[in-house]
Structure 1
Amino acid sequence: MHGEYKTPGGKLVVVDLEVYTGRLTRVQVSGDFFLEPEEALDWINAALEGLPATSDEAEIAQTVRQATAHAEMIGFSPEAIAVAVKRALSS
């Protein structure tokens, strides 16, 4: 499944994922945003793995926010990732 979201500032957030037994798997977040440190992208992907596919945007954003507590997200937000995840799930 594939979902995209262009933030109001113009940065693209892309999420590719699969669903297995009602949970997110093989989650890959990408885009033209900036993230420091770089390994924070791995933190986000790992945090989303196993999340129930029925999670709402607020739950997804909170999961990302917790995973990136020690990171700087430039040009995008946890909410942007949540929108992209929900779009992937509805595709």
Structure 2
Amino acid sequence: MIGQHEMDGAALRHGEYKIPGGKLVVVDLRVEQGRLRDVQLSGDFFLEPPEALDAINAALIGLACDASAAALQAAVQAALGPDVMMYGITIEGVAVVVQRALA
């Protein structure tokens, strides 16, 4: 499902992606002046530690809305420490759901 709405001058976007062999990943975000804002990743996946979700959201904020999948993946990877465990979600899947929201 992909959606877009206008509110406060910023385009609201929504994307969903079922990770193959994994879980549903959902993203809601705004696009302002060609940049990602208010990124909120959610779904039925698990991250350890839980704070990793905030790190992923923060890593995506400010990226160009035309960023490549590789650039999205690199930003997420850079935000995650070596101790982060991802269950039912992948860095690649995060990039896919963001790109779906922006399509």
Would you tell me which structure has more strand in proportion to its own residues? 2
RMSD (Å), alpha carbons: 0.9
Measured in 1, the distance between the counterparts of 2:81 and 2:95 equals 16
Match of 1:72 in 2: 85
Measured in 1, the distance between the counterparts of 2:34 and 2:27 equals 17
Match of 1:83 in 2: 96
Name which of 45, 67, 70 aligns with 1:33: 45
Map 1:1-91 onto structure 2 (within 5 A). 1-70=13-82, 71-90=84-103
Highest Rg: 1 or 2? Answer: 2
**Bigger relative CO (Cα 8 Å, ≥ 6 apart):** 1
Task: Name stretches of at least 5 consecutive residues in structure 2 with no aligned partner.
Answer: 1-12
> For the Cα contact (< 8 Å) 2:14–2:26, is it kept in 1?
yes
Per the TM alignment, residue 68 of structure 1 is displaced from its structure 2 partner at its CA by 1.4
Per the TM alignment, residue 9 of structure 1 is displaced from its structure 2 partner at its CA by 1.0
Identity %: 58
Give SS of 1:16's match. strand
Per the TM alignment, residue 10 of structure 1 is displaced from its structure 2 partner at its CA by 3.5
Would you tell me which structure has more helix in proportion to its own residues? 1
